[in-house]
Amino acid sequence: MRDYYAQRAQEYELVYHKPHRQPALRRIEAWLREVFADRCVLEIASGTGWWVPHAAAQARAWWATDLNPETLAVAQAKALPACVRFAQVDAYTLQGLPQARFDACFAGCWWSHVPLQRLDAWLATVHAALPAGSRVVMLDNAYVEGDSTPVTRHDDHGNGYQRRQLRDGSEHEVLKNFPSQAEVIARLGPRAEAVVWHDLGHYWAVDYRLR
């Protein structure tokens, strides 16, 4: 996963240029701006920072974190709101997280890449970094027949895999899950309250507060 996204960094945002996804993207960008207004936000696996200019526009502080320097470099080259900072952080450990009073968390297109057998531990790590009252949004791809890259196999844990090709012709098998609303909500655990599911066409989002 790490190497694939490092190699894909320069071409990653082509996925956000698909014409038929533009209306949904504009709606999501505007929604994220509102959700995170006045919040101090931890963004996990922020990648090339597609959501950052929009979601951080009215935030109090925004820490965009990712494991790959290659993707962080693409994001850092953008014109971004003054509240945005970057850190190289592993989503699974959150070690090296900056000292900040986070009261919100965002992860875009990351949940789907977390192996099912690691999801509970990953969510517990994220929640442990956030105080009660924090707002959390997980946004990800929905599977759309005829549009999404097909899932070619499943492993013994039930994880799906896609075969993907980069511009240099290299082929990669990438773990990608498409959970249902019920599966996502069931994973959130006892601290999640005020849970709202958003069906956003080519995307889904779950929005909740931590007690």
Ligand X SMILES: C[S@@+](CC[C@H](N)C(=O)[O-])C[C@H]1O[C@@H](n2cnc3c(N)ncnc32)[C@H](O)[C@@H]1O
Q: Which residues bind ligand X (CB under 6 A)?
A: 1-2, 5, 45-47, 50-51, 66-68, 71, 90-92, 108-110, 113
CB 3 within 8 A of CB 68: no
Kindly report the CA angle at 31 between 90 and 190, in degrees rounded to 5? 55
Q: Which of 106, 66, 108, 109 is CA-nearest to residue 86?
A: 66
* DSSP helix/strand/coil, 180: coil
Residue closer to ligand X by CB (options 14, 195) is 14
Shortest gap between Cβ of 28 and ligand X (angstroms)?
10
Residue closer to ligand X by CB (options 66, 103) is 66
- Cβ-closest position to ligand X: 47
Using a CB cutoff of 8 Å and minimum separation of 24, what contacts does 187-196 make? 187/119, 187/120, 187/123, 188/123, 189/120, 189/123, 189/124, 189/127, 191/127, 191/132, 192/136
Shortest gap between Cβ of 3 and ligand X (angstroms)?
9
Residue closer to ligand X by CB (options 47, 160) is 47
Shortest gap between Cβ of 11 and ligand X (angstroms)?
12
| β 61-66/135-141 pair status | unpaired
Residue closer to ligand X by CB (options 117, 132) is 117
Residue closer to ligand X by CB (options 74, 210) is 74
Residue closer to ligand X by CB (options 23, 132) is 23
Shortest gap between Cβ of 38 and ligand X (angstroms)?
22
Q: Which residue has the tokens 């896609």?
A: 162
Shortest gap between Cβ of 113 and ligand X (angstroms)?
6
Tell me the C-alpha to C-alpha distance, in Å, between residue 61 and each of 23, 40, 48, 55, 102.
27, 4, 18, 11, 8
Shortest gap between Cβ of 159 and ligand X (angstroms)?
15
CA distance 174 to 16: 18
